[in-house]
Amino acid sequence: MSQAASHKAQKGLIVKQTGPLALIQDAGRFGVAHLGVTQGGAADWIAFRWANWLLGNASNSAALEIVMGGGLSLESEREVHLALTGADLDAQLDGKPLAPNARFQLLPGQRLVFRQPRQGLRAYLAFPGGLNAPEVLGSRACTAREQFGGLHEDGKPLQVGDRLTWQGTAPAMRRIADDQAPRMPVSGCRLPIVLGSQIASFSGRALFQAFNQPWTVDNRADRMGVRLTGPALHGSLTGIISEGIPLGAVQVPQDGQPIVLMNDRQTIGGYPRLGALTPIACATLAQCLPGTQVWLTPVSASQAQDDYRHQLGVWVGG
């Protein structure tokens, strides 16, 4: 029996109704950018790792990234302990509220429904041992543009009738301390940014505007990029020779409105950049609803590295 057929024969969770976007994600697809293949992976990598931590999973275990909720409905065929972290999407278990950042039990016949965002944008649902899905170029992460990853290896979100199965049986018994639980961003949050090589090409006025006034998260935002609206930023460069694009790169196209490039970004680009958001800032931005105001705050590369190491250290020994 093939792996796909074996997974289909298992009992699991059946998708009864879909929301705007529910994707299987892991930590991402690395080492393939030279082929033009993007990173993918969980947009809020911090909430994603907490979800896996709650069940004692490996940190890269595939989970479900649920955007906006929007009525996504999953019905259980078997008893299972799951973990939910990230945004509060008004999740309900048989009509009863289910708080994020905790593990919970599903019994056969019970239904888990995600409604509308109350705080944050993306929730993460982890399964014992991680979700079953074929690996493509070393990852199970869904990326729509490349049509990689997911249950059917086509990068598409969950569809009605899909069955989710998992690899493990006995998850760990863990609880997130109140002072460590992922916090959803509020309007006015700060996004640390490491300045880039083209920063000197922007005028003094543009740099003052970039870092001394809030930006608004536009509704033109997805897993490829998030547009920030505010005063137009201008400089001496209108374009550059295309170069590699890191996660969080803040490009400034000709209209002067910055675009933060996220997990499903293109691998190269030719617009000048202010710099790149830190990994922690990217996770924060991934949870910002349209209309949220954010501040870009320059930090040194060493400070960004220290903050990243500190965040990784939270899970060490767990």
Q: Which CATH number belongs to the domain containing residue 273 in this structure?
A: 2.40.100.10
* Residues of the domain holding 270: 189-313
Q: What is the pLDDT of residues 255-296, one digit of tens each?
A: 999 999 999 999 999 899 999 999 999 999 999 999 999 999
216 and 135 in a single domain? The answer is no
What distance in Å separates the CA atoms of residue 224 and residue 67, rounded to the nearest whole number?
A: 14
- The model's confidence at residue 303, banded by pLDDT at 50, 70 and 90, is very high
Comparing CA positions, the residue from 272, 4, 267 lying closest to residue 136 is 4
Residue where a domain stops, chosen among 147, 164, 181: 164
pLDDT on residue 9: 65
The answer on pLDDT for 6 being more than 90 is no
DSSP secondary structure code for residue 34 in this structure: G
Please report whether residue 274 resides in a domain.
Answer: yes
| Residue 36 φ/ψ region, left for φ over 0, alpha for ψ in the -120 to 50 degree band, beta for the rest | left
- Report helix, strand or coil for 208: helix
Query: d(Cα 199, Cα 36) in Å, to the nearest integer?
Result: 26
DSSP class per residue in 144-182: TTTTB-TTTTS-PPP-TT-EE-BS-SS-------TTTSP
Residues 62 and 29 in one domain: yes
Domain boundary among 164, 197, 214: 164
Residues 300 and 160 grouped into a single domain: no
Which ranges in 175-258 belong to alpha helices (H)?
204-211
Domain contains 174: no
For residue 164 the two structure tokens come to 């989710």
Q: Which residues contact 163 (CB under 8 A, 6 or more apart)?
A: 7, 8, 10, 12, 13, 14, 15, 77
Within this chain, do residues 70 and 139 fall inside the same structural domain, yes or no?
yes
Whose tokens are 């999407």? That residue is: 89
Query: How far is residue 81's CA from residue 87's CA, in Å, rounded to a whole number?
Result: 19
Asked if residue 170 is part of any domain, the answer here is no
In this structure, what token pair is assigned to residue 247?
């996660």
Could you tell me which of 280, 276, 238, 269 has the C-alpha nearest to residue 256? Answer: 238
Residue 76 lies in a domain: yes
Q: Are residues 156 and 231 in the same domain?
A: no
Same domain, 294 and 145: no
pLDDT for residue 1: 39
Looking at 130, 164, 198, which one is the last position of a domain? 164
**DSSP structural state of residue 199:** G
> Looking at the structure, do residues 90 and 214 belong to the same domain, yes or no?
no
**Tally of structural domains, the chain:** 2
Query: Does 169 fall in a domain?
Result: no
Question: In this predicted model, what pLDDT tens digit does every residue of 136-171 receive, in sequence order?
Answer: 999 999 998 889 899 999 999 999 999 999 988 878
Please check whether residues 112 and 195 belong to one and the same domain. Answer: no
- Same domain for 156 and 7: yes
Pair 152, 201 in one domain: no
Average pLDDT over the chain, rounded to an integer: 93
Would residue 173 count as lying in a domain? no
DSSP 305: H
CA dist 252 and 38 (Å) reads: 20
Q: What is the pLDDT of residue 115?
A: 95
Same domain, 158 and 214: no
CA–CA dist 125, 87 (Å, integer): 11
Among 34-38, 86-90, 126-130, 290-294, the range scoring the smallest mean pLDDT is 34-38
How far is the C-alpha of 242 from the C-alpha of 234, rounded, in Å? 19
Question: Does residue 33 fall inside a structural domain?
Answer: yes
In a domain, 177, yes or no: no
124 and 18 in a common domain: yes
